[in-house]
Amino acid sequence: MSGAPFKTPPLEWIRAFEAAARCGSFTAAAAETGLTQSAISQRIGNLEKKLGTPLFFRRARAVELTVDGEAWLPHVRTALTNLRDSSEALFGSGRGQMTISASQSIIDLWLLPRLERLCGIAEGQLIIQSMVLGAHEADVDDVIRIRYGSGGWPHDHKLELFSEKIAPLASPELLKRDCHWTDWPRIACSGSRPGWNSWATRFGISTTPVPQLRFDTFLSALGAARAGMGVILASLPLCEKDIQDGRLVRLSDETIEHHESYWAIAGPDAIARSQWDELANVLT
């Protein structure tokens, strides 16, 4: 004779477990959920009794998942995500606003050409925020952020916009010079992309001439290159339109394929799952 059927634990117990596992402590989980630390502890204790196994090792200032806790966590996250997405799809009335934060370079070179399609996804007001220089934080909030890196952010939604490829570009005006392009003035840009020293090491060219122009934004450096002020090591995906329209000319068939690139990242409060799927089609 079979035993009594298993009854699913209350949802509030399961949410407390997921929050504590993600935050690494009952106190942090309480702060996130608006509950007290004792309420989180009680709900998880009840859950462990219901399941008949401990889910956490209690430490002095933190908690760690047990083997059973680690095994169950991905199933819990999948179930909660499916519940949220299905509820939003069936009963949601639209957020009415979508906010994207990015560097001015990405706004001008990547978002503006796609602006009409982005407005269609927003289902209301679209807000484009220029990222403050040096603000590389990526909070999980109600903002879609486009950041440069390797993709290691703790967000529900992550999308690499393109594979980064670096090559030297210059204005057609510089092609009139008699000397080889490696002797032309160079433009430098601060940031995470490989610079002239990396190019010189990779392809065996001289580290001189030293760039006399250095910018702290890629967009400014690109403007100087368009004006014929020198050669820039540029992101080929970002400069595709400049190359197609003849504003810039590629000077070498060689490229540096960089492991970092631009990523769109967002938490569940920033965009609905259905909207994210549409956004992914527009941004890539």
Under the banding of pLDDT at 50, 70 and 90, the label for residue 132 is low
Same domain, 270 and 155: yes
Indicate whether 172 and 250 sit together in one domain. yes
Decide if 4 is inside a domain. Answer: no
When pLDDT is averaged across residues 160-166 and rounded to a whole number, the result is 97
So what's the pLDDT on residue 94?
53
Phi, psi of 189 (to 5 degrees): -140, 130
pLDDT in tens, 19-50: 999 999 999 999 888 899 999 999 999 999 99
Residue 106 pLDDT level (bands cut at 50, 70, 90): very high
Residue 246 sits in the same domain as residue 176? yes
Residue 6, domain member (yes or no): no
pLDDT of residue 187: 98
Task: Tell me the average pLDDT across 120-148.
Answer: 79
Residue 140 lies in a domain: yes
Mean pLDDT over 173-187 rounds to: 94
Judgement on whether residues 253 and 265 belong to the same structural domain of the protein: no
Domain termination residue (choose one: 67, 91, 115): 91
Domain membership of residue 1 (yes or no) is no
Tell whether 176 and 252 lie within a shared domain: yes
Same structural domain, 135 and 108: yes
Task: Tell whether the model's pLDDT for residue 90 goes beyond 70.
Answer: no
Return the minimum-mean-pLDDT range out of 137-141, 257-261, 269-273. 137-141
Per-residue pLDDT band for 156 (boundaries 50, 70, 90) equals confident
**Whether residue 129 is found in the same domain as residue 253:** no
Query: How much is the mean pLDDT over the chain?
Result: 91
From residue 196, how far is each of 80, 120, 266 by CA, in Å? Answer: 48, 40, 33
In this prediction, residue 155 carries a pLDDT of 86
Q: What is the CATH number of the domain that holds 57?
A: 1.10.10.10
In the listed set 68, 91, 114, which residue is the last one of a domain according to the structure? 91
54/86 same-domain check: yes
Whether 134 shows a pLDDT value over 50: the answer reads: no
Structure confidence at residue 140 (pLDDT):
65
pLDDT tens string 214-264: 999 999 999 999 999 999 999 999 999 999 999 999 999 999 999 999 999
- What is the number of domains present in the chain? 3
In a domain, 2, yes or no: no
Q: Looking at the structure, do residues 57 and 118 belong to the same domain, yes or no? A: no
Flag whether 156 is in a domain.
yes
State the pTM of this model.
0.73
pLDDT at 270: 87
Range of the domain at 108: 97-163+261-283
User: Is residue 270 domain-shared with residue 231, that is, in the same domain?
Assistant: no
Question: Smallest Cα–Cα separation from 65: which of 81, 78, 80, 76?
Answer: 76
**pLDDT value for 122:** 86
Same domain for 271 and 158? yes
CATH number, domain containing residue 144? 3.40.190.10
Asked if residue 1 has pLDDT above 50, the reply is: no
Does 267 lie in the same domain as 159? yes
